[in-house]
Structure 1
Amino acid sequence: MTRKLRVDAVLVQALIAGALSFSHLHDLAEAAGQTGWKAWAYPVSVDLLLVAAWRRMSAHADNRAAWLWFTIALAASLGANIATAGLLDLSDVPDWLRILVAAWPALAFLGGTLLAHAPQPDLAPEPVQEPRTVLDREPLTADAPPAPEPATDIAPEATPAPEPALPAAPTGIPAPPVPVALVDHARKVADDHRARTGTPIDTDTLRARLGVPVTVADAIAAQLT
């Protein structure tokens, strides 16, 4: 009940303030030379601009254009209230005030058009949440342990097949015949190697010095021992 009475009192107060402001704007417009229906159109224009600017500020508090036109309309309303309070002789309105009253329709039309067609700020779209897939699983009870996951069959790694062994060199091949002159030359080479190094010559060195195949070098080495 208390809330209802408080709301009604606010509405009554708003109606009284609106009616007084409406009347003051009408009187000022009529004193400035706007007679007939034109004098009644001025308070309607001021109040409509106030409402349009207030609605835009309510939707976007940081809209500077809405604040500007709200201030202009409020200044027009307050100026009319103060001017008609006895501070201004309504029978002799100054020329600058007549100019302001005559220019108000164009100014109000400009403000209303800008407020009505101002671009709306882009609102970031909310991210769309993808539906989460729920896996069908059997409920686990306190008595039964969870079922083990099925083991995946993993193929054992294939071991590389052993490479076939190379056949062994045949044994028992008779040594090739070595000329006597080649043996004598090889003996001199071996003696020279022993004199220089103090060690007997090996088969590889002998083969390299004589320039003969391995089998011939082996046969010569066998005759030198």
Structure 2
Amino acid sequence: MSRIRIDAVLVQAVIAGALSFAHLHDLAAAAGQDGWKAWAYPVSVDLLLVAAWRRMRTTADNRAAWVWFVIALAASLGANVATAGLLDLGDVPAWLRILVAGWPALAFLGGTLLVHTPATAPTEPEPLRVSAPPVAPAPDPIPDVTVERGPEPAPELPPAPAAEPAPEPAPTTTPTPAAVPPALLDHARKLADTHRATTGSRIDSATLRARLGVPAPLADAITAQLA
């Protein structure tokens, strides 16, 4: 069997509410509100307190709720203080009778404004938005450009040297024929035969020199031996 846990705060609230309820009832009864009307006054004050408190918890702009909360709290505290022996409940002043008589209309106005005023939720801070760094646009592709080079200027030739006097002709001597290797002579003979068969003429010294890649004296010696 579960045990009933007694909350000290709840007990304190019940005691305070009962005492305040009784003080409001006694003040309303002393001000001329008899019967059930005297019991309705504490209910009206406490309901306005609760409505103002709930309004302050559910809206961001709670200035109006604070005003009505202070008014209801002043009515409750005023009744508690007035019934503590500071006021003669047998001879209540006229201004207090006027306040007690006008309270229902004031409480109805406050409750209507608290209930029917649109509630605005408490504003929450906007999330921090981190902007991405700007992305640089991609560079335009470089077009392929073919650069044609112009003709290079011809190098300047140095001035021709002055003509020197022609040397005196050397005495004519009969050149000694160069020695021709037998293998080279055989190869030259094959080239000469091929040249004769192709052109129908004998091969000359210049052509044979170009074919064999030999010096001019050696080409002349080979040509002389092929004759």
Pick the TM interval, shorter chain: 0.5 to 0.7
Name the counterpart of 1:95: 94
Name the counterpart of 2:144: 157
Q: Distance in 2 between matches of 1:61 and 1:85?
A: 38
One-letter identity of the residue aligned with 1:109: F
- TM-score, normalisation: structure 1: 0.52
| Per-residue deviation, residues 183-219 of structure 1 (Å, max 9, x unmatched) | xxxxxxxxxxxxxxxxxxxxxxxxxxxxxxxxxxxxx
| TM-aligned CA distance change 1:125 to 1:83, over 3 Å | closer
One-letter identity of the residue aligned with 2:9: V
What is the total number of aligned residue pairs between the two structures?
136
One-letter identity of the residue aligned with 2:76: S
Q: Distance in 2 between matches of 1:41 and 1:98?
A: 16
Q: Distance in 2 between matches of 1:113 and 1:121?
A: 17
Name the counterpart of 1:30: 29
- TM-score, normalisation: structure 2: 0.52
Q: Distance in 2 between matches of 1:47 and 1:25?
A: 10
Kindly state the Cα deviation for residue 156 of structure 1 after the two structures are TM-superposed.
7.4
Kindly state the Cα deviation for residue 58 of structure 1 after the two structures are TM-superposed.
2.5
| TM-aligned CA distance change 1:113 to 1:156, over 3 Å | closer
Kindly state the Cα deviation for residue 35 of structure 1 after the two structures are TM-superposed.
1.0
Name the counterpart of 2:51: 52
Judge conservation of contact 2:21–2:42 (CA < 8 Å) in 1.
yes
Give ranges in structure 1 of 5+ residues lacking alignment. Answer: 130-153, 163-225
Kindly state the Cα deviation for residue 119 of structure 1 after the two structures are TM-superposed.
2.8
Q: Distance in 2 between matches of 1:91 and 1:57?
A: 38
Name the counterpart of 2:78: 79
Is 2:118 aligned against 1:119? yes
Give ranges in structure 2 of 5+ residues lacking alignment. Answer: 130-140, 150-227
Q: Describe the SS at the equivalent of 1:33.
A: coil
One-letter identity of the residue aligned with 2:52: A
| Per-residue deviation, residues 48-79 of structure 1 (Å, max 9, x unmatched) | 11111111223346521111111110110011
| TM-aligned CA distance change 1:32 to 1:158, over 3 Å | same
| TM-aligned CA distance change 1:34 to 1:156, over 3 Å | closer
Q: Distance in 2 between matches of 1:156 and 1:76?
A: 88
| TM-aligned CA distance change 1:124 to 1:10, over 3 Å | closer
Q: Distance in 2 between matches of 1:72 and 1:109?
A: 13
Kindly state the Cα deviation for residue 117 of structure 1 after the two structures are TM-superposed.
1.9
Kindly state the Cα deviation for residue 45 of structure 1 after the two structures are TM-superposed.
0.5
Kindly state the Cα deviation for residue 118 of structure 1 after the two structures are TM-superposed.
2.1
Identical-pair percentage: 77
Greater Cα offset, 58-67 or 12-21: 58-67
Superposition RMSD in Å: 3.0
Q: Distance in 2 between matches of 1:15 and 1:75?
A: 19
| Per-residue deviation, residues 94-123 of structure 1 (Å, max 9, x unmatched) | 111110000000000111111112233364
Judge conservation of contact 2:59–2:119 (CA < 8 Å) in 1.
no
One-letter identity of the residue aligned with 2:44: S
One-letter identity of the residue aligned with 2:146: T
Q: Distance in 2 between matches of 1:106 and 1:125?
A: 40
